[in-house]
Structure 1
Amino acid sequence: MKTIKRMMEHMYWADGRILDALEGSKTKDKDLLKLARHVAVAEHVWLSRLQGKGSAQYSLWEDTEDLSAIRKMFEENAEQYRLYIEGLEESELDETVDYANQSGIKFQTSIRDILSQVLLHGQYHRGQINRGLRMESAEPVQVDYITFARPKRG
């Protein structure tokens, strides 16, 4: 559990940093904002599934220009994931969750694998956002785990 909790803390940190980079770049690239929103909604979709709720009502790919709404989603996700994980025992990680994907196809996946998906999915898209920022001549932001894990220099 210690590793999963630490990786989740990295995810919350990286989500915030990528939003700060988007905000600072003042980008008008709707695809980059769409990617950021996608990550936030996907995190929420997986959390809903972990909580035994449906997720069909969520649209994973929508245009947006509202970074503050995306930030609010990320903050709410972080709060809800922290509560969920705090109540989770190591022995429960290999239990399976029954859910339907956004197309209605039914699956069973372990809690461990769902949490791993959430962690890896966001990192993949944060990389895409950073690449887009660089293409706009904006400054990409470091979101690697090692940057998060290193002691802060002051």
Structure 2
Amino acid sequence: METLAGLDPSRGAAERHAAIRLMNHIRVVSRIFAAHLQGVAHRYAGDNTPDTPEPRALRAALAEVDRWYLDHLETISEQALAEPIAFTFTDGDKGCMTRQEMLTHVVLHGGYHRGEIGRMLAGIAVSPP
């Protein structure tokens, strides 16, 4: 996020915007799955927000969700990891994953999109962090 926040908004403006949107998508999906893991409703109508957050605010929000997952992993048992959880995707489709599958999904999903952002940055001659 520091790299995105430090970019001149006029340099690769479309790529910068898309990268911030993808980081926000990572955050939203992470929050949605955190809600599923807690058995509570989330407030998202889709897998991103209508507005694009400022990079510094997004960085803080990402740190908050990362902290939630780290704290969650400190307390979850192996037995709980195997529990299936039924849920509804934001498009209305039904899903069911174990807690472990959800955690794996969140990690792989975030890593995939971070790699995508790295390629975007390389495309505008910015070295990824």
Q: TM-score range by the shorter chain?
A: 0.7 to 0.9
Match of 1:117 in 2: 105
Match of 1:128 in 2: 116
Amino acid in the other structure paired with 1:39: I
Normalization by structure 2: what TM-score? 0.85
Q: Which residues of structure 1 form unaligned runs of 5+?
A: 1-18, 142-154
Alignment partners' CA distance in 2, 1:58 and 1:78? 21
Contact 1:45–1:58 at 8 Å: present in 2 too? no
Amino acid in the other structure paired with 1:34: R
1:134, distance to aligned residue in structure 2 (A): 0.7
Match of 1:54 in 2: 41
**2:92 aligned with 1:71, yes or no?**
no
Q: 1:139 to 1:24 in 2, by over 3 A?
A: farther
Match of 1:10 in 2: none
Count of aligned pairs: 123
Match of 1:81 in 2: 69
Matched residue of 1:74: which SS? helix
Matched residue of 1:107: which SS? strand
Q: Which residues of structure 2 form unaligned runs of 5+?
A: none
Matches within 5 A, 1:1-150: 19-27=1-9, 28=13, 29-55=16-42, 57-61=44-48, 62-141=50-129
Alignment partners' CA distance in 2, 1:58 and 1:131? 28
